[in-house]
Amino acid sequence: MVTIGIVYELGKEALLFFTHQQWEVPNKITITSIEPAWITFEVSSSGSEITEGMVIRVNDEVMLVTEAQGDQLSVIRGYQDTEVSFHPTGQEIEVANKVSLMEFFTKTEWNPQIGRFGIWALVSATLMTTIIAILVALPLGLSAAVYLSEYATEKTRSTIKPVLEVLAGIPTVVYGYFALTFMTVLLRTIFGNDRVEIYNTASAGIVIGILILPLVSSMSEDALSAVPRSLREAAFALGATKLETATRVVVPAAFSGLAAAIIVAISRAFGETMIVAIAAGAGPAFTLNPFKAAETMTGHIVRISGGDLSYDSIDYNSIFAIGLLLFIITLILNIISQRIVKRYREVYE
């Protein structure tokens, strides 16, 4: 029921983002008064261009532009059943816009206030931080899991596991400041201040990798420990070393559990909020350079939500569209995880 409620609310508000007519300000004003009988008038030359076929609004009256010659517009008055009225000189003109799915999924510039709706500016930063996090957490987490499962004594295991799990209990806002004040400084020291910006996705991704490390190691260790002892003994009987047994017998036998752990960790990294909000950057930017500032999907939602948003504005509705996309991606990852577990699960007697 909670999931249904989440999908309903996200879907309802996201639908408004894609279907409602949004009004943008092209920074143009009327330079003559507009009488009710007039269908032609002049506008200022500054601002964005208004072309034929655009729907504009002056005060509460909506008009359809039938011809645009320089700064002179010919319009159909009272469009969309609005009232034709007199408009004095200096009235601000607004331009109607609707967000298309094509623009949303193919463009790379995100700025709803000026009509730019390319979600890839946010998705690219999210993917970069997630990939970096997995590159950090995967080798360290699997190595820790193999050590705890195959090499560590019971006393060592009872000491190391709680230490790893302490990492999962640290507030993510603390991780965010750690990324900004320590990891960024470390990267700037190694690669140079001119190459690494103060806010960057690399430091955020590395620290997210540290954050999900306990998740990867704990779930992987559980999967490895579930492999029957008889498989290990059979490998030893054939002359395999402990390392060969771990890497060629135990790890392949636990593949479904390991894959599930990795995908769950990816979902966790994809949805991380506070670390990227603090350390990655506070402006959408389409870049593949991890040393540049870029804003992730979750970081953008946090920043926009903290501002003064009016209900049903384009910025307000946009955060629900981003949230719905984030939910769908996470859902797909979890479905893939379930399929992998079901496909590669091995049952031993």
What pTM was estimated for this model as a whole?
A: 0.81
Domain of 185 in residue numbering reads as 120-344
Q: pLDDT-derived band of residue 123, with 50, 70 and 90 as boundaries?
A: very high
CA–centroid distance for 42 within its chain = 43
Asked whether residue 2 is assigned to any structural domain, the reply reads: no
Residue 284 DSSP SS3: coil
| Per-position DSSP letters for 116-129, written without gaps between them | EE-THHHHHHHHHH
Whether pLDDT at 230 is above 90:
no
Asked whether residue 4 is assigned to any structural domain, the reply reads: no
Same domain, yes or no, for 143 and 72? Answer: no
Question: Quick one: average pLDDT of 257-280?
Answer: 90
Nearest 5°: phi and psi at 159? -90, -45
Task: Please give the angle made by the CA atoms of 46, 49 and 55, to the nearest 5 degrees.
Answer: 120
Q: Which residue has the tokens 């997995």?
A: 134
Same domain, yes or no, for 138 and 249? Answer: yes
What's the total number of domains in the chain?
A: 2
Whether pLDDT at 114 is above 80:
no
| 26: CATH | 2.40.30
* CA distance readout (Å), 332 to 258, 297, 316, 325: 18, 17, 25, 11
Of 320, 292, 337, the closest CA to residue 20 belongs to 320
Asked whether residue 185 is assigned to any structural domain, the reply reads: yes
What per-residue confidence (pLDDT) applies to 46? 83
Render pLDDT for 41-72 as a digit per residue (tens, 0 to 9).
Answer: 999 888 888 888 889 999 989 999 999 888 89
Same domain, yes or no, for 268 and 327? Answer: yes
How many percent of the chain have pLDDT more than 70?
A: 96
Point out the domain boundary residue: 97, 130, 147. Answer: 97
Higher pLDDT: 306 or 158? It is 158
Render pLDDT for 1-33 as a digit per residue (tens, 0 to 9).
Answer: 988 888 898 888 888 888 877 777 788 899 888
Same domain, yes or no, for 171 and 92? Answer: no
What per-residue confidence (pLDDT) applies to 98? 78
Same domain, yes or no, for 186 and 334? Answer: yes
Question: Quick one: average pLDDT of 334-345?
Answer: 78
Whether pLDDT at 346 is above 70:
no
Least confident of 103-117, 217-231, 301-315: 301-315
Asked whether residue 33 is assigned to any structural domain, the reply reads: yes
Same domain, yes or no, for 33 and 177? Answer: no
Same domain, yes or no, for 311 and 224? Answer: yes
Same domain, yes or no, for 40 and 150? Answer: no
| 138: CATH | 1.10.3720.10
Asked whether residue 8 is assigned to any structural domain, the reply reads: no
What sign for the dihedral angle of Cα 152, 154, 155, 157? positive
Same domain, yes or no, for 180 and 325? Answer: yes
Same domain, yes or no, for 207 and 320? Answer: yes
Element (H, E) at 346: none
What per-residue confidence (pLDDT) applies to 32? 86
Asked whether residue 294 is assigned to any structural domain, the reply reads: yes
Asked whether residue 30 is assigned to any structural domain, the reply reads: yes
Same domain, yes or no, for 313 and 217? Answer: yes
Point out the domain boundary residue: 97, 131, 155. Answer: 97
Q: pLDDT-derived band of residue 106, with 50, 70 and 90 as boundaries?
A: confident
How many percent of the chain have pLDDT more than 90?
A: 32
Same domain, yes or no, for 232 and 292? Answer: yes
Whether pLDDT at 315 is above 80:
no
Whether pLDDT at 349 is above 70:
no
Render pLDDT for 126-145 as a digit per residue (tens, 0 to 9).
Answer: 999 999 999 999 999 999 99
Point out the domain boundary residue: 66, 97, 128. Answer: 97
Asked whether residue 3 is assigned to any structural domain, the reply reads: no
Q: pLDDT-derived band of residue 283, with 50, 70 and 90 as boundaries?
A: confident
